[in-house]
Amino acid sequence: MKVIGNQALLEQIGEAVKNRRMFHACIISGPRGIGKKTLAKHIATAAVCTEVQPPCGRCSGCLKSEKDIHPDIDHVKPDGTEIKVNQIRSLRASLYTLPNEAPCRVAVIENADCMNVNAQNAMLTILEEPPSSVIILLICENESELLPTIRSRCVHYRMQPLPEEIIKDELLRRKSGISADEAVNAAKKSDGILGRALEIIEAAAGDGYDCQIIEALCERSVERLITLAATLEKEANRDNLCDMIRSVQKTMGNAAAFQAGKSDNWSADERRLASVYDKKAIIRMYQLCTALIGYCEANVGVGHIVGAFASMLSEEVNR
């Protein structure tokens, strides 16, 4: 996924990457939904790219990073509500080994402001004597939660809100079926935060859980699938759950037909799904829907069905 706006920041990063003069550690901060993870992925991809103009988007390093399966990129996320010292210790062990295939190792710490004190101190020991070819990206909303000694050892990228015009264009590009007025209104209410504008559009589309599930799959976001499952478990009953799964299944079927080269007026979602997953994955997800529709008809509990749906789709995302 592409970083939107933030041109000055991207140029600065581009220069550093091009000359292979990367920092050891960097804090990426900004409000929720502003694109911090997207920027982190951009930097990580550039760092593991093996071509002369990183990120080239085509080499095996870039492609693996895009799918979150690069062996030299470690991801750390909160275990429950915090990031614990053991997680940082095992990261440390990994960072002190040589990269498998990339020019360097990268660590992406999501919600770095959730590191507890012990974890932060462990992080500090890594930053004090960083292994030579290692890049650590600390993503956080609130950098003041990080120890001053950590902050002083990091380059700091603060992501800026986007102009309304850019948000409007991006909404129209990503969301088929919305009007220019809807895009303008959502952009106005979003405070320049693309993620927020997308939420406004999705909320206005009614429940639209089917679309949101497809979106989460296209973004390969397990986090979003789990959040959706939690909401569905509270709000769905067996009938509307069954309708929702049928609708998701229909999108899968159409994506498979599009992949097979059949021509029709395919929607943006169907095309996108077809580009993110291969034929086998789409067929597996289609069959999963068939099984779950059977469960709905056999009166299996909503919680069980939603749980199975979320966990099996998450497996496809991570595959």
- Stretches 48-56, 163-171, 281-289, 303-311: which one binds Zn ion (CB under 5 A)? 48-56
Under rule CB under 5 A, residue 56 binds Zn ion: yes
- Stretches 42-50, 137-145, 200-208, 287-295: which one binds Zn ion (CB under 5 A)? 42-50
**Shortest distance in whole angstroms from residue 65 CB to Zn ion:** 8
**Shortest distance in whole angstroms from residue 43 CB to Zn ion:** 13
Residue sitting closest to Zn ion (CB): 49
User: Between 16 and 56, whose beta carbon lies closer to Zn ion?
Assistant: 56
- Stretches 53-61, 101-109, 187-195, 252-260: which one binds Zn ion (CB under 5 A)? 53-61
277 — alpha (psi -120 to 50), left (phi > 0) or beta?
beta
Q: Residues with Cβ < 8 Å from 275, sequence gap 6 or more?
A: none
Contacts of Zn ion in 57-76 (CB under 5 A)? 59, 62
**Shortest distance in whole angstroms from residue 46 CB to Zn ion:** 8
Phi, psi of 13 (to 5 degrees): -65, -40
**Cβ(154)–Cβ(138) under 8 Å?**
yes
* Rounded distance between C-alpha atoms, residue 254 and residue 249, angstroms: 9
Closest by alpha carbon to 109, among 141, 139, 149, 68? Answer: 139
**Shortest distance in whole angstroms from residue 3 CB to Zn ion:** 16
Q: What's 115's DSSP letter?
A: B
**What does the block give as tokens for 154?**
């990091």
User: Between 45 and 120, whose beta carbon lies closer to Zn ion?
Assistant: 45
- 310-314's contacts with Cβ under 8 Å and 24+ in sequence apart are 310/225, 310/226, 310/228, 310/229, 312/285, 312/288, 313/213, 313/217, 313/225, 313/285, 313/288, 314/222, 314/225, 314/226
**Shortest distance in whole angstroms from residue 55 CB to Zn ion:** 5
User: Between 50 and 176, whose beta carbon lies closer to Zn ion?
Assistant: 50
**Shortest distance in whole angstroms from residue 99 CB to Zn ion:** 15
* Rounded distance between C-alpha atoms, residue 150 and residue 156, angstroms: 11
* Rounded distance between C-alpha atoms, residue 200 and residue 167, angstroms: 12
**Shortest distance in whole angstroms from residue 102 CB to Zn ion:** 10
User: Between 62 and 317, whose beta carbon lies closer to Zn ion?
Assistant: 62
- Stretches 45-53, 77-85, 148-156, 185-193: which one binds Zn ion (CB under 5 A)? 45-53
Q: How many CB atoms lie within 10 A of CB 125?
A: 11
What burial class does residue 83 get, using C-beta atoms within 10 Å of its C-beta: 0-12 exposed, 13-18 middle, 19+ buried? buried
User: Site for Zn ion (CB under 5 A): which residue of 51, 101, 145, 235?
Assistant: 51
User: Between 62 and 255, whose beta carbon lies closer to Zn ion?
Assistant: 62
Contacts of Zn ion in 84-113 (CB under 5 A)? none
**Cβ(239)–Cβ(183) under 8 Å?**
no
Q: How many residues bind Zn ion (CB under 5 A)?
A: 5
User: Between 67 and 304, whose beta carbon lies closer to Zn ion?
Assistant: 67
- CA 255 to centroid of chain Cα atoms: 21
**Shortest distance in whole angstroms from residue 70 CB to Zn ion:** 11
User: Between 1 and 230, whose beta carbon lies closer to Zn ion?
Assistant: 1
Contact residues for Zn ion, defined by CB under 5 A: 49, 51, 56, 59, 62
